[in-house]
Structure 1
């Protein structure tokens, strides 16, 4: 789908050459991007919030201010071309709290490429940063307003909503189409999303897509171009915050204990040509942490108190990590062929080379069968690692089905004699299996029955055919961590990162001893994972009762000594704790609801999703259409003369945001990841949508304009079939006429 989008943008840029801007240009026309092929397709994907005119009829492309002679264009654009709209202003505000950033972007774009008497759809594309989650979009244009809203999937209004093109173009790029925008109109758009801060070497980094191509710069000299960036950091404690790097000339506005504020505000000749990147560190050389408490708002459906605990590894570079006994359990089924398996092999080879000589490892490759590198654990000597890499290159050949329980049982058996180490199972798969709940039960029993150190289970999912909630649940049971690459291009980067976390554990068997005294408490995740030098640890939850004045975090260090630290309690007055942990809690609760098939947990997930704006598997996003005047919605009471068309749709349904609970059929058929990408609407689908939205029930009546628009989008085969049908009906009409005229007489 991303490649189709890039091709549509390429077509749109070529089509935009029809637009005449006159002599009043600020700069020379931007250099066109290179001809598109597979290697340059990424150049046409959005690298900042963008808006595109959706052009079906190329004849409407013209300057709405300076109509010019245009040669007649025959045919239609199928699929529609996408012309990038010119941007008149952009503002970005980012608030960084703990390990999460909330980003808000406000901008205005003009439909500069469509005749004033015509209209087109406008597609908004929103690229987001690390693990981005869209929170909302609001659009004002031509006395109309549009805003996104989450609704329960079983809500009756969902069935009445008009389906439209929208959803995730790639794992981090969301698209949304606004219908029927007049040429020359200005769209005022406000977008908000959350994303994770990247942590490395005791440094937090924020990266927001903010690179605009030349062709979105307005052509006129007199058009003001204002660019504004506001950045706020709040770590919630009294620790000193030090700014490390920044991509834009940010001016420091304020500096308080634990807080920083920056601003960049300028008139520019051309828009930002680089992403917004900012990094900072919290000064501390040793493991540290804090506890944040917050009371629920009066509108919160859950009136229990909230807490958030975090532990940070600090910046001690020489800190000792645990010795590792690790079993790599790698899916080599037929669907893994190509890039997923090649990238997994590269990461696995690199991971083996990073093991210390005292570490031990083994490799279990699986499809329908199980293939072992060795019958027992092997020390990670240079010679053994070289043999393992050679074995990987010979035996990692994609083919066969998927059986996950058998290799996991083998891995558990191999780690049964682990002593003085952190035993790890590292599972990588792209498929779903039928016995996933049974696998969770078996693993839970294995880990409960073990008297010695139980293995940590780290899981990694590739694509959307595997059940990511099964993998998340498996990791939670095993006190490990879960990650995924829905986009196959991200497999190598994210898999490297997960292995780095798994191989750098500095504190194990973590407990918070005073939490048990509360009247009622829920902790997410229920099994607290280990602390890695590559990532802070966060634990959140709800409780009733009086929270203790002090809380102790306990654990075991790599030298097997006990570790105890007192955590200071903070009242989080200016940190939105519920929004910071919302995404993580929703996904963990969804996994628990899936495993237990608990309807009450599912309802809780839905309420939390709608309350926080974070989409889940059981909610759908709709775009609610309204009227606006100077940014304010107009009610029917304030304008009683204006009657609303009862058949006019008020809600537009967006594709589901969820990754689903696995696809057994696709796994059985060995369909590779990436093949699940949806295609752009075909002509027949567009006809159904047009008929349902504009003409009501097609069985009752259908307007001529809809028929004309539909027929103009048909391909040749469909047009021939329709012509033959009409000819047949005409023949029946002739027979009826003859029967009427001749009275059924012979001759």
Structure 2
């Protein structure tokens, strides 16, 4: 859903047309603010597999921060870093100019800006950022009109120049970095560029990167942004640079909290050393702008209440702190979507780590690869690397097997194929495939809702732009409450039985028998009744017992 605050007490909520692909029940909920202005909601799902005592589970924390329009807004200092290499010639450089003027036009009077442009050499509009005025805006427009697209691409020096300058006092410094190519001049090794940017960015500038076209190093741009509380954006060949830059910059209006940090502790002091929460995502929080929520997921280890404390700097530049208490006793089975959203984000984060490890010909850590495969298998969350798990409808897998053998391939064969795919994919740094990997990974890392059909972006028709992208989906994997079912032949198989799909069942329950209705009643009490709503027999692991539920004559 998209929300837009239209006025005090009025919010417009829009359900996108793409939601038609995932029909189902719709529930709209909202949370009233606390006396300190914070709107907080915590949803939790109990899971006996989490925590040493079986009292753990998963939680999702949502925070809406107050936006006090009567208080002054923190000024921004924006440095536009524009690629003027030869490959930007023509429409690209024109759109980049228009995008730059749109950003500068969107700044408030008195906010600061500079322009750094690069090809073989590095130039800048001013020695230091200047305040926006009618006069400085006119000079910037004249400067931009004089940019000519010639030469190579010196990404390293452009970043160092933009990041190393000391910002003005009391501003939120950010860099909008645009490139349409790989580093071809100066230092070009990916790891060296990342390290140089890290060292140069002592002042904490947020890097919002824009990769134009397919010939960019997408993992590098993603790493530069994520390490600095920014975000990457990819402009596909038939998309408008000005539109994409404008969409991002519009979101960066009105900082509500800068450099937020989330800490936690049990309400009652504990003598043991075990942390009450673990596997918290995201690992660090980005700045919060007006209209945005803070969303955090993780695992809780016991039923002890936990107090969250969110600290940061508000729009007036003053330190601020908010507290909210989480009582795991309020966890309920109706929130079975929480673990799966956590898993989607975890897979996205791990995939990004794997992608980063492939820099300069490196190889991913086998433990990271195995964990992605484990989570994908357990939670039924497919990526372009682990789509092999949907064996019955996987064209890629059929290329390596004869006829219908793909559907009957042993689980270890499917997982080996996924492992090889992850390893090969991590080394793709540019091109259409690399961009799609980053887009799909980001979609999972930022997930706020389920993706039950496992929709993924893919290139279709051999095209070279956004209009030629399609969305694949899979029907042989079912996400049912906190369980995952895989279609194998005429039977739906519990993910926990994938290693032994042909083992004889220890218990058989016939459709419409007393045992069947007792099982249905039990599953309904656990909010798992949907596992019986599939067409065909269902082979489940219930209380450690292999149980075949016959639902066909």
Matches within 5 A, 1:509-658: 509-514=259-264, 518=275, 521-542=278-299, 544=301, 548-569=305-326, 571=331, 573-575=333-335, 576-596=337-357, 597-616=364-383, 618-621=385-388, 624-625=391-392, 648-651=403-406
Q: Determine which of 301, 307, 314 is the counterpart of 2:59.
A: 307
Residue 436 in structure 1 maps to residue 190 in structure 2? yes
**Shift of residue 424 of structure 1?**
1.0
Give the 3 Å change call, closer, same or farther, for CA 578–361 of structure 1 in structure 2: same
The answer for unaligned runs of 5 or more in structure 2 is 6-10, 267-273, 358-363, 394-400, 408-413, 433-457, 464-553
Residue 376 in structure 1 maps to residue 128 in structure 2? yes
Structure with bigger helix share is: 2
Report what 1:405 is aligned to.
Answer: 156
CA distances 1:187-212 after superposition (whole Å, capped 9, x unpaired):
xxxxxxxxxx3343254432124999
Q: Determine which of 174, 191, 208 is the counterpart of 1:424.
A: 174
User: Is contact 2:308-2:323 (8 Å) kept?
Assistant: yes
**Shift of residue 530 of structure 1?**
0.9
Alpha-carbon distance between aligned partners in 2 of 1:550 and 1:524, rounded to the nearest angstrom: 17
Matches within 5 A, 1:459-478: 459-478=209-228
Give the 3 Å change call, closer, same or farther, for CA 468–664 of structure 1 in structure 2: closer
Alpha-carbon distance between aligned partners in 1 of 2:94 and 2:48, rounded to the nearest angstrom: 49
Alpha-carbon distance between aligned partners in 1 of 2:381 and 2:323, rounded to the nearest angstrom: 33
Structure showing greater radius of gyration is: 1
Q: CA RMSD in A?
A: 4.2
Which SS does the other structure have where 2:372 is aligned?
helix
* TM-score (norm: length of structure 1): 0.46
Give the 3 Å change call, closer, same or farther, for CA 659–399 of structure 1 in structure 2: farther
Alpha-carbon distance between aligned partners in 2 of 1:488 and 1:284, rounded to the nearest angstrom: 48
Alpha-carbon distance between aligned partners in 2 of 1:486 and 1:429, rounded to the nearest angstrom: 12
User: Is contact 1:456-1:478 (8 Å) kept?
Assistant: yes
Which SS does the other structure have where 1:574 is aligned?
helix
Alpha-carbon distance between aligned partners in 1 of 2:279 and 2:78, rounded to the nearest angstrom: 31
Give the 3 Å change call, closer, same or farther, for CA 571–340 of structure 1 in structure 2: farther
The answer for unaligned runs of 5 or more in structure 1 is 1-196, 213-227, 241-281, 627-645, 667-675, 682-747
Alpha-carbon distance between aligned partners in 2 of 1:211 and 1:545, rounded to the nearest angstrom: 38
CA distances 1:581-633 after superposition (whole Å, capped 9, x unpaired):
4444333322223334433223222333344444435334576449xxxxxxx
Give the 3 Å change call, closer, same or farther, for CA 620–518 of structure 1 in structure 2: same
User: Is contact 1:552-1:565 (8 Å) kept?
Assistant: yes
User: Is contact 2:57-2:300 (8 Å) kept?
Assistant: yes
Alpha-carbon distance between aligned partners in 2 of 1:603 and 1:469, rounded to the nearest angstrom: 21
User: Is contact 1:475-1:482 (8 Å) kept?
Assistant: yes
Alpha-carbon distance between aligned partners in 2 of 1:475 and 1:662, rounded to the nearest angstrom: 19
Report what 1:198 is aligned to.
Answer: 2
Matches within 5 A, 1:119-518: 197-201=1-5, 203-209=12-18, 230-235=24-29, 239=31, 286-296=37-47, 305-313=57-65, 317-318=69-70, 320-395=72-147, 397-414=148-165, 416-433=166-183, 434-447=188-201, 450=202, 454-486=204-236, 488-489=238-239, 491-514=241-264, 518=275
Alpha-carbon distance between aligned partners in 1 of 2:214 and 2:377, rounded to the nearest angstrom: 23
**Shift of residue 348 of structure 1?**
1.9
Report what 2:506 is aligned to.
Answer: none
**Shift of residue 410 of structure 1?**
0.5
User: Is contact 1:624-1:651 (8 Å) kept?
Assistant: yes
Give the 3 Å change call, closer, same or farther, for CA 648–665 of structure 1 in structure 2: closer
User: Is contact 2:209-2:224 (8 Å) kept?
Assistant: yes
Structure with bigger strand share is: 1
